[in-house]
């Protein structure tokens, strides 16, 4: 695995005030729903870093991106940079790109929150494995 297999954001930090400001500037329910899921990404481990990338909160392990959230007028996306490789037994993931996938949440519509929490945990574990493999390949 080469460094190019990872989406690197070297300016990610432990608690980015710009991310908190993004959530604070919108009090609409969808932005708060996005915050709930981003907080779960933040809580994955002490090595999680964050920043605003392309205008939305993005979670990294060290500098390697693994997830993001974004709030639109009618839905929230909870996305994964290597989502195409994640186990998704509940078939929540949408998208057809080479790597990225997302889960679309609509206000007032039920969704499987346990399955989404499992996807976040899997994305975190996946990026840690990718980082470890990358380090080993450099030795």
Neighbour order of strands in the sheet with 48-53: 48-53, 56-61, 64-71, 76-80, 101-105
Q: What is the pLDDT of residue 94?
A: 97
Contact 38, 71 (CB under 8 A): no
Q: Over pLDDT 90: what percentage of the chain?
A: 85
Two tokens, residue 97: 């790109």
Q: What is the pLDDT of residue 27?
A: 62
pLDDT digits (tens, 9 = 90+) for 82-106: 999 999 999 999 999 899 999 999 9
Two tokens, residue 113: 């929150």
Domains and CATH numbers, the chain: 3-138 (3.90.1150.200)
pTM for the structure as a whole: 0.93
Strand partners, 60: 49, 65
Contact 101, 83 (CB under 8 A): yes
Does the pLDDT at position 2 exceed 60?
no
Q: What is the mean pLDDT of residues 39-62?
A: 97
């Amino acid at each position: 695995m080469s460094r190019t297999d990872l989406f690197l954001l070297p300016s990610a930090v432990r608690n980015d005030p710009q991310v908190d400001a993004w959530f604070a500037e919108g009090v609409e329910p969808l932005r708060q729903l996005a915050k709930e899921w981003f907080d779960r990404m933040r809580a994955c481990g002490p090595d999680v870093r964050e920043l605003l990338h392309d205008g939305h909160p993005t979670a990294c392990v060290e500098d390697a991106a693994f997830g993001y959230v974004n709030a639109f007028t009618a839905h929230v996306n909870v996305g994964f940079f290597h989502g195409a490789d994640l186990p998704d037994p509940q078939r929540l993931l949408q998208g057809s790109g080479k790597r990225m996938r997302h889960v679309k949440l609509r206000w007032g519509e039920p969704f499987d929150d346990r399955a989404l929490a499992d996807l976040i945990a899997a994305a975190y574990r996946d990026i840690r494995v990718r980082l470890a493999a990358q380090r080993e390949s450099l030795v």
